[in-house]
Structure formats: C-alpha cells, structure tokens
Amino acid sequence: MDARSIITALRFGQPLSRPEIEWFAKGLASGAVTDAQAGAFAMAVCLNGLGEQGRVVLTEAMRDSGDILKWDLPGTVLDKHSTGGVGDSVSLMLAPALAACGAYVPMISGRGLGHTGGTLDKLEAIPGLATEVDEPSLRRMLDEFGCAIVSATGQIAPADKRLYAVRDVTATVESIDLITASILSKKLAAGLEGLVLDVKCGSGAFMKSMEEAQTLSKALVSTANGAGCAATALITDMNQPLASTAGNALEVSECMTVFEGMLESPLAELTCILGGALLALGGLAPNERVGREMIQGSIANGQAGERFGKMVAFLGGPRDFLENWRACLPTAPVAVDVFAEFSGIVQAIDTQIVGMAVVHLGGGRLRGGDRIEPAVGLSNIIRLGASVDSETPLARVHALSKEDAQRAASIIRDAVVLGDAPVQPPPLIYERIVQ
C-alpha cells in the first residue's frame, strides 16, 4: 500500500477501503506521507468526495492517529462544538453549567480563527490563567469539579493537525468531508458519549447560506453517529453578534454578568438551549425543555459560576475571580462610543466585518504567532431592528489608542446598514438536525 495508489484511486473517483484510509492517516501522523501527497489527497477529496462511509472511516482513522482519552466517571461525558462566530462565548458558561447538572465536560478548545474569536483566547484574558495542562491535570479537573476548558496536546489527532496545515495552503479548506473529519476527530479523541454541534449561519459565519449550514450539519451528525458518538446539530443565527460584546476580556465580563443572574440575553438563551439538548442527548434530562430548565437553574442558583471559579483557580487565575472579576479583568485605555451618522432602523450587520474590526484592534491574529491584546474589542453592540439616531451608539470601542478607536469606529459604521423599513430580527435557532 502506498500514497500514490491511494491518491490515484481518489482522483478517478474510486471509493477507498478502510485499510487504505487508515494507512494514509497513519502516514500523515508519522510523516510517511509527504506534504505534496497530503495536498494531492486533500484536493482529490475536495473534488470527488469520500462518500458517507469514507468520511466516517477518515474521522475514525484521524481520531486513532494519536491519544484517545478513556474515562471511568460516574456520569456521562458530553461536549459541544461551535463552527465559529462573533461574540460567541457560550462555552465559558456551558461547560460549568453542564457539570453542575451532573455531566462531565472535557472541553478541548481552540484559538481564534480569522474573524471569529477563540475560546482559549477568551479564557486566557483572565490574568495568570493558562489553558495548557497535562492529562493527569485534566483528569483531576473532571474529578474535582466536572469540567475543563483546555487546549489540545500535540498527541490529540496529529493526522488532522498535519492535514489541516496543508489544506490551509492548498485551497481545500471548504471540503465538507475534510471539515467534518477535522472537527470530529479531535472531539471524539476526547472520549465523548454525546456531542451537540452549533453550526452558525449568516454574515458572521463560515457557512453563509442555509444550504451550506444544512449540508455541514447533516454531515457532522451522520458521521459522529457513524463513529459511535450520539450527536445532534443546531443551526443558529450569526447575522449579528451573539452577545453585546466582542473581544476577549469583554466577552468574559458578559459571561460573568450571566453567572450573576443576567439571563435575559441571546447569549444566555443559546447557552441554555444547547445545554438542554446535550442533557437530553446524554440521558441526564427526559427532554430538551427540562434540560434547558436544568441549565438555567444551575446558573441562577450559582452552582455553574462556582464551578467556573474553581476552574479558573485551577488553571492559575485569581482564586477570588468569581467575587472580584471586575477588578481582575484588564481594561483598554481608550473607550469611545460609535454614533450613527443619520437616523434609521438597523437593516443588516456585516458581522464578519465586525469581527475583523476586533482583530485589527489587536483582539485576534492577522498572522500566526501574533500577540493578543485581551482588553480591546466592542461592547454595547446594536441589534438588528433597533432604531437609532445621531445620539444612539452603534457600539462602544475599547482600544489601545485614539487612532485605533477611530479606525474601528469607521469600520463599524460601514458594517451597520440603516434604512427606513421595519425589520423582524432573525430567529436564534433555524433548525435542528438529528439522526
């Protein structure tokens, strides 16, 4: 068996056998497959696809290319994955809320990608906190308080790490088969029993259209189930930022207000909906409605916040963060409101541009290795359908300098479209995809 014959078969649209796919994944992890061969494989998959069964096999093979976590816990191991958006800090609240409801959540997360924020970058906005832990520490966290939000080790799905880097430079990122295998190989290596997938759709999502979001959702659900992990997907709106904030420390601060009882927001609502779906999927709630009430209750009674505080302290953050988070989080030296230039109703928001405004402030990476400025970003972001005039802020910019703030203000004005027609805000949830 060799890479050339496998690539040739793919190029001519021939289905690959399980041994062939497994051999190729092992070769990606070991280096036996060259970068050129990996790129050719990715392009052949992008053009011809693998088929549903081939997608399952590739996911399993990349999962099995490195360490697989196995658990012996007195409860169900659950997690959630989001395809990325702006102002989406659900994970920070969902993991401890699920743990407070009896689940165990080893949430291996990522950093910001393009215009979307990263869970690890948000968490590391807390002074002293570091998300890199070894496996014994991860196990301690789950034993002691039921949840962990941490970065992946180099031995989690190394075949995916190699193929992902090649896809980025060979224009093959958009392949549904490769996207699905990439997402799920890492998640399934965490030893999950249930997974909810939050697939974003809209101007701030990677999947701009409903058709694209549906295609990816169905592929993720069928592949996860085919690989032995119960899964469901929710297609959610990203035609405006989910939260009223975008930027690492600012999003943490909004999460903390939810922990303090501010449950009337799209951010809190989606957290409860996703958590309810997971509790029902994992058998910890009789249905999603009851599961949602359980998540909301764990936040309202303070148990979710208590577990979040314990996680922060374990990862090196302040031990009194839950009580004194306002004094702990960094703040930007410049904060200015962005006003509309004329009156109107917010017709549309180019959410990707909003996300890039945060990146250019320093809240994300333009290049790999760029330093993140945790304090910068946006707050009080206007919502679709809101009426504004010249005295109504579209957002508040938090910046390192007045010049940065002025540039961001101009970008925000361009991203928000005003008009005269009344606007019906989009639903938070468009569709549920189940097996």
Both 311 and 345 in one domain: the answer is no
Domain boundary among 324, 351, 370: 324
pLDDT tens sequence for the chain (435 residues): 899 999 999 999 999 999 999 999 999 999 999 999 999 999 999 999 999 999 999 999 999 999 999 999 999 999 999 998 999 999 999 999 999 999 999 999 887 767 887 899 999 999 999 999 999 999 999 999 999 999 987 688 999 989 988 887 788 878 999 999 999 999 999 999 999 999 999 999 989 999 999 999 999 999 999 999 999 999 999 999 999 999 999 999 999 999 999 999 999 999 999 999 999 999 999 999 999 999 999 999 999 999 999 999 999 999 999 999 999 999 999 999 999 989 999 999 999 999 999 999 999 887 766 789 999 999 999 999 999 998 999 999 999 999 999 999 999 999 999 999 999 999 999 999 987
Helix (H) and strand (E) counts in the chain: 17, 12
Both 271 and 342 in one domain: the answer is no
State the CATH number of the domain containing residue 195: 3.40.1030.10
How would you list the strands of the sheet with 416-419, edge to edge?
387-388, 344-349, 416-419
Both 353 and 303 in one domain: the answer is no
Residue 102 lies in a domain: yes
Q: What pLDDT, on a 0 to 100 scale, did the predictor assign at position 368? A: 63
Phi, psi of 294 (to 5 degrees): -65, -45
Both 318 and 395 in one domain: the answer is no
- Model pTM? 0.94
Dist. CA 50–CA 44, nearest whole Å: 9
Both 93 and 121 in one domain: the answer is yes
Domain boundary among 32, 49, 66: 49
Both 415 and 296 in one domain: the answer is no
Residue 304 lies in a domain: yes
Both 45 and 91 in one domain: the answer is no
Domain count, the chain: 3
Both 344 and 301 in one domain: the answer is no
Dist. CA 76–CA 429, nearest whole Å: 25
Residue 316 lies in a domain: yes
Q: Active-site residues: which are they?
A: 79-82, 119, 167, 182, 186-187
Q: Which residue has the tokens 């799920």?
A: 184
Both 182 and 290 in one domain: the answer is yes
Residue 58 lies in a domain: no
Residue 29 lies in a domain: yes
Both 45 and 124 in one domain: the answer is no
Q: Which residues span the domain enclosing 228?
A: 78-324
Structure tokens at 427: 């639903």
State the CATH number of the domain containing residue 370: 3.90.1170.30
Both 386 and 312 in one domain: the answer is no
Dist. CA 12–CA 8, nearest whole Å: 6
Please answer whether residues 388 and 346 qualify as being in contact, where contact means their C-beta atoms are separated by less than 8 angstroms. Answer: yes
Residue 426 lies in a domain: no
Both 211 and 91 in one domain: the answer is yes
Residue 425 lies in a domain: no
Dist. CA 187–CA 79, nearest whole Å: 8
Sign of CA dihedral 259, 267, 329, 127: positive
Residue 59 lies in a domain: no
